[in-house]
Structure 1
Amino acid sequence: MDNQQVLSILAVVVTAYPTVELTDEMATLWEQMLSDVTFESAQRSLKQHIKTSKWPPTIADIRANTSTANDILRIETQQCFALIDSWERGVVPLLKDGETND
């Protein structure tokens, strides 16, 4: 996200959580830490956070629900399932009722 997008996200945070005080340092840090997150992903994540939490979000809260994080987990899960499938194909035929399954 660029500076204007981060400021837009932070404006929503301040509106939803009136106790949050926006500072230049906060905006700079959020921009640095969310530079690889798309604006759309951050918006979705913030919307979900506002619906489910009475506390203001942290940078980690916004990152945790982004599609980037979810995509990484999805890919890692698919790789694990592929590995399990390859193990299953490589094992000796299992016994069923004392006989081999050929």
Structure 2
Amino acid sequence: MERAQVIDLLCIIAEEYSQIDTSEDEEIRLYESLKDFPFDVACENVRQHKLTNPWPPKIAQIRGGAGDLQDQRKAKDQTAEYFAERDKAQAAAKPMPAGWKEELYARLKSGTAARH
């Protein structure tokens, strides 16, 4: 969100909540908290807030659940990357040579297994 959009958002909020602080310090504070957030989503969250709440929205209410959704998307992407790596490792895996298990058991029974 751009600083001009933060000012627009404050105007939208002030239409319903006349007691809201619209000072330059408040604009800067809101900008710092909302600069990574989409303006259209913030406007929709404020619109929904105005329908059901007599008090001005806080930053968390302006952001709504979108922050949680972003976290969920990030976790989903990380999980997809993990599974892609696992699939790549599985495709590169080679079967153990024939008889390796029997040879290991024989070495264990005879007591000649290498110790670390």
TM-score by length of 2: 0.58
The answer to whether residue 40 in structure 2 is matched with residue 43 in structure 1 is no
CA distance in 2 between partners of 1:16 and 1:71 (Å): 29
Structure ID, larger Rg: 2
CA distance in 2, matches of 1:26, 1:72: 27
Give the aligned partner of residue 19 of structure 2. 19
Unaligned runs of 5+ residues in structure 2 are: 80-116
- Partners of 1:51 and 1:74 in 2: CA distance: 28
Cα separation, 2, equivalents of 1:65 and 1:52 = 16
Q: Is the 8 A contact 1:6 1:30 kept in 2?
A: yes
C-alpha distance in 2 between matches for 1:6 and 1:58? 14
Q: Percent identity?
A: 26
Residues 49-93 of structure 1: per-residue CA shift (max 9 Å, x gap): 111100000111111243x4334347769x7xxxxxxxxxxxxxx
Q: Which runs of 4+ in 1 moved over 2 A?
A: 68-77
Task: State the AA in 1 paired with 2:46.
Answer: L
1:69 — aligned with what? 68
What root-mean-square deviation, in Å, do the aligned CA atoms of Structure 1 and Structure 2 show?
A: 2.1
Name the structure where helix makes up a greater proportion of residues.
Answer: 2
TM-score for both structures, normalised by structure 1:
0.65
> What is aligned with 1:96?
none
